[in-house]
Structure 1
Amino acid sequence: MLSPQTFKLVRESGAIPGADYLLEVDNVRKEFPGVVALDDVSLRIRRGSVHALMGENGAGKSTLMKIIAGVYQPDAGTLRLKGNDIRIASPLDALEAGIAMIHQELNLMPFMTVAENIWIRREPLRYGFVDHREMNRRTRALFDRIGIDVDPASEVRDHSVATRQMIEIAKAVSYESDVLIMDEPTSALTDREVDHLFRIIGDLRAQGKGIVYITHKMNELFTIADDVSIFRDGRYIATHPAKDLNRDQVIQMMVGREITQMFPKEPAVIGEVILSVRDLALEGVFSGVSFDLRRGEILGLAGLVGSGRTNVAETIFGVTPATGGEIRLDGKPVTIGSPRDGMRAGMALLTEDRKDTGCFLMLSVGENMEMAVLTHRYVKAGFVDQGAVDTECGKMKDAMRVKTPNLAERIENLSGGNQQKVLIGRWLLTNPKILILDEPTRGIDVGAKAEIHRLISRLAGQGVAVIMISSELPEVLGMSDRVAVMHQGRLTGILDRTEADQVSVMRLAAA
């Protein structure tokens, strides 16, 4: 078995004679406490191809990729690059061997510059010190090559989630790796940015790179992939050329069953107005936003990334207090100056970024779920009734079908989709009157999406008023009673369910 250092020499000289695949994974097994994440999984990646991995959350896709990228160590099995057995003990080993990974949860350092993030540990030096001018020059050259317009000297924290995603992609490309792993790379990108990413992928494929592409979006699968491998419950199911499959076949292999209704919108009685927003404004971000929300209604909030959708939701909830306008609850003016005010008013907000603003990764599933209710509903005589808390959290775990051994499992060990379910469960424990969901199904597989859609519909049927932000137009159109559309900080129109379609929404989104 070659060390990463020795493999670098092999990498530069090319594959050994007779090596049919760029990357081979044989009989890999990985267990976490109480969970078999991978059960003797095998995979083959061809040179100059895009290989899509499909499967529900918890199927083992990300775990396998983290093993290939050196984040996890396998309990059994072997890896081969260009026909050579190799042991990857760390992410640095993987990079030196020619493997780079773009993680589903972004790993950039917000208080460092864009260039510093890209060239960390590889900074150009001058007289023993980092040469920032040269580092910025290299970054501009990289961005020019792949068509990204970002100031290398700007700090990452000043950029949107979508721009950070493109910076992550550029960082991975900068390593000139033979194998590039992309885990949900388009989760925060606009359609235009997705097209741009696909052009980059096409160029890399033409250079003979092997691209491993994890996605839950079927349209991406059939647009970009050459081969497709299906995983289910930690097991390898099958591999097929993408051209030989259709959407229903992929879903059936993924979930072991047919999903006949992706958007199970049930009839709900639309009641009286519970929330009124009039000329709401946040200086420099959005202004003049006005709409009503009724009990039992699902109001979709659509628009391109950067249109101000998230900012409006956060202002209503009190994350960023409004600088103008009025909010009324049940007809009475209220001041929402903090999330605590929003919660006291009966509101709940599921944020769009579960890693940065949702999960406490070092805490358990139970501790994450109880976070929003611990300080008031279950406190008696100054003490927490932990038994009652655990009972309610256990019921919510079962209701949300969270795949975890128990409530004590650290949430960082769960798949992204199961983390999302825990966060939704956290807010449902507060029994909200108004539920604001920002990208509720981002990074979630088709089976879990249908479950969450069904849950949202059922909550609306119980009289909960829902504001749902989504970048996926079929989701907005399929679930909403009305669709409010934003463009550059303005509300450009509100469409009834009967008149909303992709053309009418996009016309308002680009107005």
Structure 2
Amino acid sequence: MDQYAVVIENVTKSFGGVHALKSINLKVKKGSIHAIVGENGAGKSTLMKILSGIYIKDSGTLQVFGKEVHFTTPKQSRESHIGIIYQELALAPDLSVAENIFLGDLGFGGPLINWKKMNQKAGRVLSNLGFHIPPTAKLGTLSVAYQQMVEIAKSLARDVKILILDEPSAVLSNREIDILFSQLKLLKGQGVTILYISHRLDEIFAIADAITVIKDGETVTDLDPATCTEDDIITSMVGRKFENLYPAKNIPQEETILEVYGMSTKSLLNDISLTARKGEIVGLAGLVGSGRTEISRCLFGLDHMSQGKVIKNGKPITLRHPADAMRQGIGLVPESRKEQGAILSRPIRENMTLSSLKNVCYRLGILNYGKERAFSERSRQRLAIKLGSIEDPISSLSGGNQQKVVIAKWLATECDLLILDEPTRGVDVGAKVEIYNVIHELAEKGYAIIVISSEMIEVISLAHRVYVMSEGTITAELQGDQITEENIMRFAIPKRALA
């Protein structure tokens, strides 16, 4: 057993009557990168929280570097040199970057804070990661991608020997992912053991030495990335084969739902013009910061245009507030479901009906609980949402199932234009297929769909037309055989980067 950093045998964990982990068995070799894969709700995050001391296992054994441990607090896990980076950021936006990195030990064991020393140490950690982020910068002013880098730096600043990463690349661009992978390989060379959770199978093959598949709280199989295929992983994860992840594209109708002319903002967007027809899926592609999300925010009334006009169903409209957008039949599934798409502490039932309360109320605006519960149950069945009870808080669901609830919220409205910003971020293969089928179904019913995605294969396979963006402008409109990864990248890279 000396060759293993972590050995898990028959570990179980239940929450009430729900068995999150039924029987998990896992062996992770020292100094390796071991991938943990499985559908949303399979138990991956629960297992990692047991390793990090947040949850206490019900039964089974856990060994770390040959010593049996029973963590009851996160502090005990940290003392065993285990660090974890969660899918959802755990940072303080009002503090500086350096303060976030060393939060919990700002004085480095002393009673007073040495600001100069702290900033210098934070700068070195960030520089080693390949990111030149000012240590004194307020964290809340950084993009989500750079906040993720701070989260990683916070973990690496401690003397970790086992590093757990839960979907660390979900908000990173391809360049940033390359830097992350280079750093992880460097840590592996220094003897650090890495447990890597990701739904992106290309990442698994690029970085992992071993793969363990978990399904319904049980270990299904161990795979060797050098000899297995993506189909092997998918079949093990979902228990069945997918002949095609993406449904066949429907034929859009001639009627135009949305027309945008000369949309500009004071900060980024410049002269944006685009259209979307009834039954059409329109993709917005580009690098992080290109302006894709800013278009969605303008169309939903969250950001204001400095100039330009929007025409909906043949009539000019004004979008000063999200309420204006909703009245005009526009729905938005936002990039960050935690901060913008859901109220995590509230029941699943309430989250499903937030945008359509008038449909589940009596005449005087009093909520009809029976009607709301019935609607929520129909939505659960339609989107195959895995949950214990619709009365549970939405925070109790896995990331993929939370995303399905956010989509269900908009399907309950009378919108005919639905904007989906990163609709499958942090979602497993099985849930992706279900979401793709929902998008296809909506298009066939006549919805105009705008899909924003950092996964190019997703845009290529779903969209009838793709607008490529770079530095706040549309640089190309692609359709048919023109929609290729090479063409998207050619027009997405800023011109000065090509010079």
Give me the TM-score of the superposition, normalised by structure 1: 0.94
Unaligned 5+ runs, structure 1: 1-17
Distance in 2 between residues matched to 1:127 and 1:184, nearest whole Å: 34
Query: What is the aligned partner in structure 1 of residue 497 from structure 2?
Result: none
Q: Pick from 45, 48, 61: which aligns with 1:65?
A: 48
> 1:405-416 residue pairs with structure 2 within 5 A?
405-416=388-399
Query: What is the aligned partner in structure 1 of residue 21 from structure 2?
Result: 38
Distance in 1 between residues matched to 2:298 and 2:248, nearest whole Å: 28
Distance in 2 between residues matched to 1:212 and 1:120, nearest whole Å: 23
Distance in 1 between residues matched to 2:81 and 2:111, nearest whole Å: 27
CA contact (8 A) 2:361 2:367 kept: yes
Distance in 2 between residues matched to 1:103 and 1:170, nearest whole Å: 13
The amino acid across from 1:466 in the alignment is I
Determine helix, strand or coil for the equivalent of 2:305.
Answer: coil
> 1:414-425 residue pairs with structure 2 within 5 A?
414-425=397-408
Identity of aligned residues (%): 38
CA contact (8 A) 1:124 1:134 kept: no
Query: What is the aligned partner in structure 1 of residue 124 from structure 2?
Result: 141
Determine helix, strand or coil for the equivalent of 1:152.
Answer: coil
Determine helix, strand or coil for the equivalent of 2:489.
Answer: helix
Q: Pick from 425, 428, 431: which aligns with 1:448?
A: 431
CA contact (8 A) 1:480 1:497 kept: no
Determine helix, strand or coil for the equivalent of 2:357.
Answer: coil
Query: What is the aligned partner in structure 2 of residue 489 from structure 1?
Result: 472
> 1:80-229 residue pairs with structure 2 within 5 A?
80-124=63-107, 128-229=111-212
Q: Pick from 322, 334, 344: which aligns with 1:339?
A: 322
CA contact (8 A) 1:25 1:41 kept: yes
> 1:257-296 residue pairs with structure 2 within 5 A?
257-296=240-279
Distance in 1 between residues matched to 2:286 and 2:181, nearest whole Å: 22
CA contact (8 A) 2:86 2:166 kept: yes
Query: What is the aligned partner in structure 1 of residue 440 from structure 2?
Result: 457
How far apart are residue 274 of structure 1 and its match?
1.2
Q: Does 1:234 align with 2:214?
A: no
Distance in 1 between residues matched to 2:436 and 2:17, nearest whole Å: 29
Query: What is the aligned partner in structure 1 of residue 294 from structure 2?
Result: 311
Distance in 2 between residues matched to 1:265 and 1:484, nearest whole Å: 20
The amino acid across from 1:302 in the alignment is A
Q: Pick from 405, 414, 420: which aligns with 1:431?
A: 414
How far apart are residue 328 of structure 1 and its match?
1.1
CA contact (8 A) 1:265 1:454 kept: no
CA contact (8 A) 1:21 1:45 kept: yes
Q: Deviations over 1:469-492 (max 9, x none)?
A: 000000000000000111111111
Determine helix, strand or coil for the equivalent of 1:279.
Answer: strand
Q: Does 1:393 align with 2:376?
A: yes
CA contact (8 A) 1:302 1:486 kept: yes
The amino acid across from 1:340 in the alignment is A
Could you say what the CA RMSD is over the residues aligned between the two structures, in angstroms? 1.4
How far apart are residue 319 of structure 1 and its match?
1.2
Query: What is the aligned partner in structure 2 of residue 75 from structure 1?
Result: 58
CA contact (8 A) 1:354 1:420 kept: yes
CA contact (8 A) 2:358 2:365 kept: no
Distance in 2 between residues matched to 1:146 and 1:171, nearest whole Å: 11
Distance in 1 between residues matched to 2:110 and 2:431, nearest whole Å: 55
Q: Does 1:324 align with 2:307?
A: yes
CA contact (8 A) 2:360 2:369 kept: no
Distance in 2 between residues matched to 1:324 and 1:131, nearest whole Å: 49
Q: Does 1:469 align with 2:465?
A: no
Distance in 1 between residues matched to 2:359 and 2:414, nearest whole Å: 13
CA contact (8 A) 2:360 2:367 kept: no
Q: Deviations over 1:197-223 (max 9, x none)?
A: 110010011011110000111111111
Using a 3 Å threshold, how does the CA distance of structure 1 residues 268 and 386 change in structure 2: closer, same or farther?
A: farther
Q: Deviations over 1:42-101 (max 9, x none)?
A: 111111100001111111111100110111111112211111111212222211211111
The amino acid across from 2:89 in the alignment is L
Query: What is the aligned partner in structure 2 of residue 5 from structure 1?
Result: none
Query: What is the aligned partner in structure 1 of residue 12 from structure 2?
Result: 29
How far apart are residue 242 of structure 1 and its match?
1.6
Distance in 2 between residues matched to 1:367 and 1:497, nearest whole Å: 41
Query: What is the aligned partner in structure 1 of residue 489 from structure 2?
Result: 506
Q: Pick from 366, 370, 379: which aligns with 2:353?
A: 370
CA contact (8 A) 1:37 1:63 kept: yes
How far apart are residue 26 of structure 1 and its match?
1.6
How far apart are residue 439 of structure 1 and its match?
0.3
Distance in 1 between residues matched to 2:389 and 2:412, nearest whole Å: 18
CA contact (8 A) 1:364 1:410 kept: yes
Determine helix, strand or coil for the equivalent of 2:400.
Answer: helix
Give me the TM-score of the superposition, normalised by structure 2: 0.96
How far apart are residue 377 of structure 1 and its match?
5.5
The amino acid across from 1:231 in the alignment is I
How far apart are residue 126 of structure 1 and its match?
10
The amino acid across from 2:445 in the alignment is Q
CA contact (8 A) 1:266 1:461 kept: no
The amino acid across from 1:85 in the alignment is E
Unaligned 5+ runs, structure 2: 495-499
How far apart are residue 125 of structure 1 and its match?
6.3
CA contact (8 A) 2:360 2:368 kept: no
How far apart are residue 432 of structure 1 and its match?
1.6
CA contact (8 A) 1:347 1:434 kept: yes
How far apart are residue 131 of structure 1 and its match?
2.1
Distance in 2 between residues matched to 1:167 and 1:348, nearest whole Å: 32
CA contact (8 A) 1:268 1:460 kept: no
CA contact (8 A) 1:275 1:329 kept: yes
Distance in 1 between residues matched to 2:419 and 2:181, nearest whole Å: 32
Instruction: Tell me whether 327-336 or 439-448 shows the greater mean CA deviation.
Output: 327-336
Report how many residues are paired: 494
How far apart are residue 500 of structure 1 and its match?
1.0
Distance in 1 between residues matched to 2:57 and 2:304, nearest whole Å: 48
Query: What is the aligned partner in structure 2 of residue 350 from structure 1?
Result: 333
Determine helix, strand or coil for the equivalent of 2:182.
Answer: helix
